[in-house]
Amino acid sequence: MTRLNKGEDIQHSRRQFLVGSVGAGLVMAFAPAFTQYGSLLASEKIEKKLFNPTIWFEINQSGDILVNVTRAEMGQHVGTALARIVADELGADWNRVSIKHVDTDPKWGYMVTGGSWSVFQSFMPMS
């Protein structure tokens, strides 16, 4: 029981608390979808019809796969090896797989190439 002003009591039940908590959580989770920015992003994805289960690859409506490669290409064709991991895990047609070397955005994580680490360190995230 909470007192607001002298003589005013508010009754709270556990159910009201849970309903309020869940409602607040849903509002926080889906708020970006209701803003102008969120609706623009959603409409852009709907137009492109891309499926992005992770940041490492995306699949368009026709089944073409674009693999995001975060390792530098230094003559060993690491992009091909990383794309092959994704294609094998998805059981995809290799002719429908392409690669894109990404920028240096922090979302890609630690982007070190060298010491034969590229495939070893990327195998688990890509698969």
Would you give the DSSP letter of residue 99? E
CA distances from 2 to 6, 11, 13, 125 (A): 11, 7, 12, 50
- In the chain, what are the domains? 1-48 (no CATH), 49-127 (3.30.365.10)
Q: What are the pLDDT digits (tens) for 83-123?
A: 898 999 888 899 999 989 888 878 777 777 776 777 777 77
The pair of three-digit structure tokens given for residue 71, joined into one six-digit string: 């390792």
Query: Which residues is 61 bridged to in the sheet?
Result: none
Provide the whole-model pTM. Answer: 0.56
3-state SS assignment for residue 35: coil
